Structure 1
Amino acid sequence: MTTPLAGIGARIRADLEGHIQSGDWKPGHPIPAEHALMAEYGCARMTVNKAIAGMAAAGLVTRRRRAGTVVATPVAERAVLHIADFAEESAQLGLPYRHIILARHVVAEMLVVTTLHERGGEPLALEERQIALATVPQAREEAFAEAPPGTWLLRHVPWTEAEHVIGARVADATLAKRLAIPRGAACLTLDRRTWQGSDLITEVRLTYPAERHSFSGRFGEARR
């Protein structure tokens, strides 16, 4: 038998989820504060907290320390055999995208670029990339203002071979700040290198908050 307390919690969650599923509240939209929900539904803070905690566990909302609770960005299931275009993926999800160049310099004829990708107003991934200027000399003067380095390379430099390695890392203070996650949080990494014939084009490490991403691939037995 459902108790009145449980019934109120279920109603709170159903109402909040209704706004999300209908599209009224987009990713990044703030969820009403707990004290406001307490007043609206006439219940204890624990009831509100449990309802929101259940939504967080289901991946519908993201709780941010000192910033409140917001509608979560959909978890991105990434195909590991595909070279991603963050802007294109974001457009397919109907979410705004932007990139920020954090650092750019040349070391031993390698252009080193650090880029932060954001989707729906939330950090998506940190990109640490090196571009071989011997293969891509035009990158030396490129500011990557219109498109991030990965997208620019896909548009301007055809590749013939790629390799990738999936790994994990723990967020240090700098990474945690850039990705807006707690220090010590788990992150997924994708290290990738691409070539044009025998010439290296680029090598990159992409770091994603593990709670918001997964990698996937589909494989089949080679035909004999």
Structure 2
Amino acid sequence: MDQGRDITLHQRIVNDIEGRIVSGEWPPGHRIPFELELTKAYDCSRMTVNKALTQLAKAGLIERRKKSGSFVTQPQAQSAVLEIHDIAAEVKSLNLAYSFSVARRAKRKADADDNRRLELQPGSSVVEVVCIHHAGGRPFCLEERLISLATVPEAEDADFANLPPGAWLINQIPWSSAEHRIQAVAAGGEAATLLDIARNTACLVVERRTWSNVGPVTHVRFTYPGDKHALVARFTPAS
């Protein structure tokens, strides 16, 4: 077979399979046709097909299982509902460059809403941090976080310039319990501006509270444009 044609066919197979996965035609768990089937369909060598599937596997789009074939993987920009997920790892799993920036940071007395969100005592102080997480230079997630200074006094001097608040907190204090709340919302003015999306764009919001043995640690609200993120939970039947 002509080498130029072989290269063209290899890329055509990659593009065709990737297109079907991205469009949703082949959902997560779907079995990709076997190598022999693809060889016949594209009238090419098995080596060409193998090279295409290897490229797709390296990109994280498919999973190759010995003796079983190749299957569409779950989207990598997913997080388990019951896990404390790492946004940087999510972005990097998409093969995109990760970065973050702090839009606002302030220490202040907790107001009534802060007290409700963190179950604080009257007169408590908090640090409020608003960050934008970027994927490939584009806004990926808005993080709005409150940190209790009664539980984490070190947060008063932290500027979070080099480490996102979530990662910083994990290094500072172990959490003993957490609560997640998930909802769909329409992007408001500030969120739309910081995420560079149209106002009222459908978004997925994950709110989380964590506690340590000392007391409430943090309340955080993550806002994702609706097409940027998904949540998944795995569970077993109740005994």
TM-score (normalised: structure 1): 0.65
Q: CA deviation at 1:86?
A: 1.6
C-alpha distance in structure 2 between counterparts of 1:141 and 1:99, whole Å: 19
2:98 corresponds in structure 1 to 97
Aligned residue in 1 for 2:226: 210
Shift of 1:56: 8.4
Matches within 5 A, 1:1-224: 18=15, 76-108=77-109, 109-197=125-213, 199-223=215-239
Once the two structures are TM-superposed, the CA of residue 92 in structure 1 deviates from its matched residue by 3.6
Worse-superposed segment, 123-132 or 86-95: 86-95
Task: Write the distance in 1 (CA, Å) between the matches of 2:76 and 2:186.
Answer: 19
* Matched residue, 2:50: none
Which residue in 2 is equivalent to 1:42? none
User: What is the distance in 2 between the residues matched to 1:222 and 1:198?
Assistant: 32
Report how far residue 168 of structure 1 moved.
1.6
CA shift digits 1:33-64 (9 cap, x unpaired) = xxxxxxxxxxxxxxxxxxx9x998659xxxxx
SS, match of residue 103 in structure 1: strand
Please state how far the C-alpha of 1:146 moved relative to its aligned partner. Answer: 1.6
What amino acid sits opposite 1:205 in the alignment? R
In the alignment, is the contact (CA less than 8 A) between 2:77 and 2:90 conserved in 1? Answer: no
Contact residue 106 and residue 129 of structure 2 kept, 8 A = yes
Instruction: Name the CA shift for 1:18/1:57 in 2 (closer, same or farther; >3 Å).
Output: closer
Deviation, 1:175, is: 1.8
Structure 1 residues without counterparts, runs of 5 or longer = 1-13, 22-51, 60-73
Tell me the residue number matched to 1:44: none
| TM-score, with length taken from structure 2 | 0.61
The more displaced of 197-206 and 74-83 is 74-83
What's 1:63 paired with? none
Paired with 2:92 and 2:186, the residues of 1 have a C-alpha distance of 29
Change (3 A) 1:123 1:20: farther
CA distance, structure 1, for counterparts of residue 16 and residue 134 of structure 2: 23
Give the letter for the 2:79 counterpart: R
Q: Which amino acid aligns with 1:211?
A: D
Which whole-Å CA distance do the structure 2 matches of 1:119 and 1:195 have between them?
29
Say what the alpha-carbon RMSD is for the aligned residues: 2.8
Q: Which residue of structure 1 aligns with residue 31 of structure 2?
A: none
Q: What's the offset of the Cα at 1:197? A: 1.9
Q: How many residues align?
A: 165
- Deviation, structure 1 residue 198: 5.4
Whole-angstrom distance in 2 between the partners of 1:58 and 1:188: 20
Q: Distance in 2 between matches of 1:101 and 1:147?
A: 10
Q: Which amino acid aligns with 1:129?
A: R
Contact 2:188 2:199 survives alignment (8 Å) = yes
Residue identity matched to 2:100: H
Question: Residues of 2 paired with 1:163 and 1:181: CA distance?
Answer: 28
Give, in angstroms, the shift of residue 20 of structure 1: 10
Q: 1:92 to 1:75 in 2, by over 3 A?
A: closer
Aligned to 1:153, what secondary structure does the other structure show?
helix
